Amino acid sequence: MEDIYYSSTRGSETKVSASEAILKGISEDGGLFIPNEIPKLKCTIEEISKLDYKETAYTVMSSFLTDFAEEELKNCIEKAYDAKFDTEEIAPIKKTDDAYFLELYHGPTLAFKDMALSILPHLLKTSARKHNIKDKIVILTATSGDTGKAALEGFADVEDTEIIVFFPEDGVSEVQRLQMVTQKGSNTHVVGIEGNFDDAQSGVKKIFTDKEFGDKLKENGYRFSSANSINIGRLVPQIVYYFYAYGSLCKKKEIECGEKVNFVVPTGNFGNILAAYFAKNMGLPVNKLICASNDNKVLFDFFKTGVYDRDREFVTTISPSMDILISSNLERLIYLVSGRTPKKVSQLMSELSVNGKYQITSEMSDKLQDFYGGYATEEETKRAISKMYNENDYLIDTHTAVAYSVYEKYKDEKNDSTKTVIASTASPYKFTNAVMEAVDDKYLNCNSFELMKKMSALMNSDIPAGIRGIEEREILHKNTCKKDEMKNIVEKFLNL
């Protein structure tokens, strides 16, 4: 099998191995690592349909992580997808009247981020061993709500690592906040910033690309890596569940092997739907990738006009993990549709940094035909939750509801009867107030923890172990900072 190498979307680094790209997290020029080619799947779709989740993971991931020995990668997969998931399937599919919901929230933190962040620590440790790295690895991460807890869960007490998570103090749900600030682990650090997710993400990127600070780290025996989807070690595991979902539908005779399907993905940072795009390019039979946004509809406008413009009002919504105006992973797509031209990517990213927007060429826009962009307002999101519950007796969270609402609009607009899978990215238990209030306004003014019990009764299921009794846990992380103080607080945690 031909080796896959990684280069920066902005051109300064080429021919980096997968393990090196995972260790670095982000390129020194601020670009993101991307494979020199998207490999084709090594087996047929029919063969994929006969595999379980772990086997699918090995088949897909081994195509990208070519410097990992079979034993190394299988060991990572075995440790990642184990009893920490509350279902043997790992990512089960729920059929409703007009769609299939791919439930990606059965891991320990109740969000799709577990699908990749359960394996990233093992990939990172294996990569460090391969390169004889003795430095302590510092995982520096910004979160809009779900990545933070999933990363903390994955890296807590992992030897020779520290993890620092920044989150927008007023931009996450109460359950998300408590999941993070009650996190145990001698190597865990959590900080609420006075700002939004974009401020946290920009601050983290700035620290990553601060060469002087990087030198200071090395002198003290540290090196940075990332648990955000800017890390290729986060993105590659996300490709797996699109193949697994398709294989499951084949196995259940819901589709014929080879039949095309649509995927609807609620996204803000663009990583989750980019993974689906990679899957399509590997050979997965995909008709359309439907990109679902909330009121922060920067991606919707981009697909409609070819202009990416973050210079707009930031809206705090009931789907906070999508409250993002700078979609970092879009840079990888821009690189691909530019014909792998780092000079063009650097120009556009510079325009975004200086002017707050950029416009792609008509030739680049022509290469975006795989995508359809849509968005849902707050009211439409609430109606989608209510409709799904009342018509199918099925509760979905606010992010999944954005996707379902966009899917309904897409069907009406395009009259497309292709079978469709909706990525269900979080458990409704993480957003109890918004979900229950959408079901019935009698739940207004109840607190999150009362509503968990009521939701449990509605769903006829136990409150998931990851959040059961969370309101009674000790608050262990009380740090806050302004967005321009992030580097100072990193120095403080690392005693630099």
Residue 276 lies in a domain: yes
Question: Residue 458 belongs to what domain range?
Answer: 93-110+233-462
d(C-alpha 45, C-alpha 83), whole Å: 27
* Residue 371 Cα distances to 20, 246, 290, 408, 412, angstroms: 31, 18, 6, 16, 17
Q: What's the confidence (pLDDT) of residue 51?
A: 97
Residue 1 has pLDDT above 70, yes or no: no
Find the Cα–Cα–Cα–Cα dihedral 313, 317, 319, 323, rounded to 10°. 20
Strands 479-482 and 136-142: unpaired
**Mean pLDDT rounded to a whole number for the chain:** 96
In this prediction, what percent of the chain has a pLDDT beyond 90?
94
**3-class SS shares of the chain: helix, strand, coil, % to 5:** 45, 15, 40
Residue 167 lies in a domain: no
Three-state SS across 352-383?
HHHHCEEECCHHHHHCCCCEEEEECCHHHHHH
The CATH code of the domain that includes 379 is 3.40.50.1100
Residue 442 lies in a domain: yes
pLDDT in tens, 268-323: 999 999 999 999 999 999 999 999 999 999 999 999 999 999 999 999 999 999 99
Which residues share a beta bridge with 481? 193
d(C-alpha 120, C-alpha 101), whole Å: 25
Beta strands in 368-467, from DSSP E residues, in sequence order: 371-375, 420-424
Write the Ramachandran bin of 223: left for phi over 0, alpha for psi from -120 to 50, otherwise beta: beta
pLDDT in tens, 56-91: 999 999 999 999 999 999 999 999 999 999 999 999
Contact of 115 with 89, CB cutoff 8 Å: no
Is pTM beyond 0.85? Reply is: yes
Contact of 365 with 308, CB cutoff 8 Å: no
Which residues are known catalytic residues? 113
Residue 419 lies in a domain: yes
Residue 250 has pLDDT above 80, yes or no: yes
Residue 453 has pLDDT above 70, yes or no: yes
Domains in the chain, number? 1
Write the Ramachandran bin of 192: left for phi over 0, alpha for psi from -120 to 50, otherwise beta: beta
Residue 84 lies in a domain: no
d(C-alpha 276, C-alpha 263), whole Å: 8
Residue 381 lies in a domain: yes
